A and B are shown apart, each in its own frame.
Chain A
Amino acid sequence: MTRESSAGRAPPSTKAIPFRKILIANRGEIVCRVARTLRELGIASVAVYHHVEMNARHVRIADEAIEITGETPVAAHLDGKQIVEAALAVGADAIHPGYGFLSENAGFAKMVADAGLAFIGPSADVIALMGDKISARDFARRHGVPVAPSVVPAADLAGFAAEAEKIGFPLVIKATAGGGGKGMSVVRSAAGLDEAARIAASEAKRYFGDGRIYAEVYVERPRHIEVQILGDGEGNVVHLLERECSVQRRFQKIIEEAPAANLPFGLRDAVCQAAVQLAAAAKYKNAGTVEFILGADGRFFFLEMNTRLQVEHPVTEMITGFDLVRAQIEIAAGLGLPFAQDQVAARGSAIECRICAENPERDFMPETGTIQYLGVPEAPFLRFESALDAGQKITADFDPMLAKLVVHGADRNEAIERAIVALGELAILGVRTNADYLARVLDHPALRSGALHTGFVLEHSPSLAAGEPDAATLDKVLIAAALGFREFRDQVFDVPEPYASMGRWRN
């Protein structure tokens, strides 16, 4: 039996996957993404949904869907026990957790395994090790992976501020159990430290149920470089090169690319090797991402390891030609690594843009609304990953990320050009998004030259603002709008002769 790879370049595997049905414990675009690979593999997909998302695309595209309940939609998606019961009820063999929600919850991974199901992810122990930032850093340090200096674990908040001050400013406060920028802030002077620590601890408590925070030296103008790895759980690890995710707002990535632009000679190998070293030491099983910050001086430090599929995994798939979801499933099925390191090579360049319901002109505040019209660009070099529908209400119930627009080009310049054109063609009307802002970011000379760092958006904010539309554009908008209003159109087209032929007149 042979199967076609979705990416088209992976050598067809001849090993049979023992799974017949997999429940995807997530929502939105990532469910659609995972289900696509499952369909190619001939495995049935099962979606879960809270009743507010009953008609959502991720529910419609799955082969089966099962309702989960909770006080809020998010609470339902975080209810591991209920989801495991759902998986057992529909006769699933395995659970794919996607990203976010339960994907890095060690308790959930254990619950899945205890129920006799395969968890498409690492063991609960490894999730716990990497999920706690302090234990992850200690582990990295012990295994020769460079770690940023000056960590101060905090027992209580008052003691924390005093201790943190000793490492100097600027420093960054992070949640021990954190991720995704929650409970994280940069503090530049002692004056703001108390309040920043209080907010960080309370955010950490609310989102992770764990209010512990720590501080470390803040590397100025750092780049965010991460390495995609696959491990088989026996200590064998391959990397699929790096991604750069330096373009961020509120500590969350909005543009990611692979490979990273202008990496100094030898650095790519060093970073990828450090990632492999860490994953091999942990006997890591699954797809995973080792994140680093890279200073202007070429030094890089371990940031964290994400023990799941990453939002931005498509850029790696586009340059390597491998299907990471398929690789995850094959590894979880005990089939080992699907390819060897020497089969991994970069072809061209890929860029992902995260389309979010937010207002870049108002500090990226989340926006809500109803999608009145959805027009999606299509091209062979493009993936539009979403679960959007026209008529869909965008509420504050879930994360503001609506979709991912991913393009491939023969080189970085072509990928940038293609992304800008595609963002222009994308039409999401009815809820404000950052799509046009992302096009301006990609068109910025500093981005084109590869002068990236995590403060890019802040540094260039004046030149990234939309500005006023010119009069010619405004006139066209007025004409287009006027012709869409019945009152105006009636006055133009439903006026009988001889009035219609009359010249300028006023009422």
Chain B
Amino acid sequence: MAFKLTVDGRAHEIEIVRRRPHLVVSIDGRDHEVTVAGGFEEGRQAMEVAGLVVHFVRAPCGDRQIIRLGGRNFETGLIDPRSEVAGVGGDQDHVKAPMPGAVVSIHKSVGEAVKRGETLVTIESMKLQMALAAPRDGRVAEFLRGEGEKVEKDEAIVRLETVVREG
């Protein structure tokens, strides 16, 4: 039986090969014998893979789990096969807030043509101002947030449209 897991957004498959006397799983064709499975709970844990102790820290976080292992944090999730959907490509039409904050100033107006890299808005978060630039050439279709308004992380602030040459 195989499960699909994500690690930092990337999908991987882990298959149960054997259950007794020890669990054996297969990941990308590599088999691992889990000699001691360790605790299920959050906090510092130890498991034994092929007889070697592996220390890690586990924290459930909603339907995800954060695993700290080898001096690094990983965000992991279990993909429910029933709800699996195709991924979405890069969005070049929206300029999104990379962090939560507020719009400080808007440098363009609706309908204005912009070049890739031109500053469209300045936002501010945690005492830090940041200029957000156009991801491509185009024209400002609309501002979804105005000056002084709050924005959440990854919220779209500007929508761009493609300039269609007439004639």
A residues at B contact (CB < 8 Å):
182, 195, 199, 202-203, 206-207, 250, 362, 365-368, 370, 372-373, 375, 396, 398-400, 423-424, 427, 429-430, 432, 436, 439, 466, 469, 471, 473-485, 487-489, 491-493, 495, 500-507
Contacts and interface: CB of A to CB of B under 8 A. Distances in A.
Given A429-B73, A430-B61, A430-B66, A477 B7 contact: yes
Q: Is the interface of B mostly helix, strand, loop or mixed?
A: strand
Interface in B19-49: 19-20, 23, 25-28, 30, 32, 34, 37-38, 40, 42-45, 47, 49
A506 B7 contact: no
A480 B69 contact: yes
Nearest to A503: B18
A466 B72 contact: yes
Given A373-B59, A396-B100, A485 B20 contact: no
Contact of A372 (B23, B38, B45, B61): B61
A480 B47 contact: yes
5 A-B pairs with the lowest CB-CB distances in the bound complex, closest first = A373-B59, A481-B76, A372-B59, A429-B59, A429-B66
B54 interface: yes
Contact of A474 (B7, B37, B73): B7
B69 to A, nearest CB: 5
A439 B67 CA distance: 18
B1 interface: yes
Contacts of B67: 477, 480-481, 484
A365 B131 CA distance: 13
B44 A427 contact: yes
B14 interface: yes
A506 B1 CA distance: 5
A483 B47 contact: yes
Given A399-B126, A483-B38, A477 B59 contact: no
Given A436-B72, A477-B69, A495-B19, A199 B127 contact: no
Nearest to B104: A202
Given A396-B100, A396-B126, A501-B19, A487 B78 contact: yes
B60 A479 contact: no
Contacts of A436: 71-73
Interface string B49-91: 1000010111111000111111111101010000000000000
Contacts of B122: 199
Contacts of A439: 71
Contact of A480 (B16, B30, B54, B99): B54
Contacts of B124: 206
Given A483-B38, A491-B16, A478 B5 contact: yes
Contacts of A504: 15, 17-18, 26
B56 to A, nearest CB: 5
B129 interface: yes
A271 B46 CA distance: 50
B4 to A, nearest CB: 10
Contacts of B5: 478, 481-482, 485
B164 interface: no
B57 A375 contact: yes
A49 B124 CA distance: 24
Contacts of A372: 42, 59-61, 66
A478 B127 contact: no
B20 A501 contact: yes
B153 interface: yes
Nearest to A504: B17
Contacts of B20: 500-501
A28 to B, nearest CB: 14
B32 A479 contact: yes
A120 to B, nearest CB: 25
B110 interface: no
Given A372-B42, A471-B28, 15 more contacts: A373-B43, A373-B58, A396-B126, A429-B68, A430-B66, A474-B12, A477-B7, A477-B74, A481-B65, A481-B78, A484-B65, A485-B3, A485-B78, A503-B18, A504-B26
B40 A491 contact: no
Contacts of A399: 126-127
Given A436-B71, A492-B16, A475 B27 contact: yes
A93 B75 CA distance: 49
Nearest to B3: A488
Contacts of B131: 199
Contacts of A505: 1
A100 to B, nearest CB: 10
Nearest to A488: B3
Contacts of A485: 3, 5, 65, 78
A318 to B, nearest CB: 24
Contacts of B119: 195
Contact of B7 (A400, A478, A502): A478
